Structure 1
């Protein structure tokens, strides 16, 4: 019995020794394989993590760049437009409508010359209209002469009146004007005209001259047009115009009406004579039974 137990113990001891030897031979290869696999796996997982986090930062920086460029562009365009704006060209200032003005000249406390008229200067390339609100009237009166000068920013117009007691007439014997005005929106050009051989606006002493529209040729393509004109120099009573003497254009002309009436009368007479002659011929053709 004891022998059998010892034999079993001996066999167990030998088996244990043999197993220990085998485990010593196989342990190095099995332990190094897992270590290499773990290291490789940990290295692989860290690399993609680093790449993924940097990519979105680069994308965010790219989106900010166009925002800065877009905001600067409109500011530059606005500044350039304001700086290069050209000033407007000079243009005529008086309006195109005719306005009637009242102009007086006094001798002491008494009015010696009165004028009620609208004035415009005509050229080949334009018209200048005198504005009464921007015009000053001045002048002098003597026994046989009087003058009226209308002054405005662009120039002046002067009327010189003569009084002839022998002929019982008052008239304008000289007329002149001076004008500097840019008719073609350019630099103002001076225009000067004078006519000393005129016999304008004739009227009896104590009467006023009246005309709806009258154009006066001043030479060199210059004209002075006077509209709605009523003017009187000398012998003014109670600061009112005397009896108006109309210009030829405003006077009633009956000559044409008379000529037309005479022509119609002659035609009627001719028709009556022709009718009577034709009736006489028909009557003479019949014979009595």
Structure 2
């Protein structure tokens, strides 16, 4: 009697995992961008070539006694739309801040902390606020003033009603992935490899990090894919054992 041999569903299972991994990656990595105000001009904007990722800089603010009251480590990229004096129309320019050319200063109060970064004709200001009741802090203000060579007039933008970089007192906020902080219609800030702590610093080290959703999603993808692969291994193993048992049964004399 011809032995019965069952084909293993390995190829179909492997194809399923590949499709699952691609689908999960696409779903987690695609996020709707924050809503930005509609442009008030109908003149087409001409974006400049995007520079490479900015270098990560360390920016600390100290109290009068010399201890750190605000710590920040991040790469920063300015996305600005202004009227070009040479082209006589709005242009979009993306500019990196260079840590070795940037001076930092600031101040700290009980429920407010400010970080000011200056590079040539550019000044970028961060304002953090602390809710002492909930023990939560966030970035509520960003301001930029700049006068670059091709600007027809000095540029200024600010917003003090923001709700970014939310963390808990005594902890740092971390976001390794690139994120965009929309400030005004003509100004947004891109951050890279960011870690910041504006309150509750103990010594000269960041507190335990609270990671952003972008980082959590990147960690979740390999966990889900790994679980799917483990499930596939169990299915293939079970199918192999069942097929082997039936194959052996085919040799029995009837």
Structure 2 length normalisation: TM-score? 0.60
- 1:107 deviates by 0.8
Report the secondary structure of 2:193's partner residue. Answer: strand
Q: Match of 1:88?
A: none
* Structure 1 unpaired stretches of 5+: 1-91, 265-289
* Equivalent residue for 1:155, pick from 115, 122, 135: 122
RMSD: 3.6
Q: Relative to structure 1, is the Cα distance of residues 187 and 218 closer, same or farther in structure 2, using a 3 angstrom cutoff?
A: closer
Q: Match of 1:7?
A: none
1-structure distance, mates of 2:109, 2:136: 15
Matched, 1:192 2:156: yes
Report the secondary structure of 1:229's partner residue. Answer: strand
Matched, 1:104 2:82: no
Q: Relative to structure 1, is the Cα distance of residues 252 and 179 closer, same or farther in structure 2, using a 3 angstrom cutoff?
A: same
Q: How does 1:220-259 map to 2 (within 5 A)?
A: 220-252=185-217
Q: Which moved more, 1:145-154 or 1:188-197?
A: 188-197
Q: Relative to structure 1, is the Cα distance of residues 109 and 120 closer, same or farther in structure 2, using a 3 angstrom cutoff?
A: same
- 1:256 deviates by 7.2
Q: Match of 1:114?
A: 71
Runs of 4 or more above 6 Å deviation:
253-264
Q: How does 1:122-137 map to 2 (within 5 A)?
A: 122-123=79-80, 124-137=91-104
Q: Match of 2:181?
A: 216
* Structure 2 unpaired stretches of 5+: 1-47, 81-90, 230-254
Matched, 1:165 2:132: yes
Q: Relative to structure 1, is the Cα distance of residues 141 and 253 closer, same or farther in structure 2, using a 3 angstrom cutoff?
A: same
1-structure distance, mates of 2:64, 2:92: 42
Q: How does 1:28-39 map to 2 (within 5 A)?
A: none
2-structure distance, mates of 1:106, 1:259: 43
Matched, 1:203 2:167: yes
- 1:242 deviates by 0.5
Greater C-alpha radius of gyration = 1
Q: Which has the higher helix share?
A: 1
Report the secondary structure of 2:216's partner residue. Answer: coil
- 1:165 deviates by 2.1
Report the secondary structure of 2:201's partner residue. Answer: coil
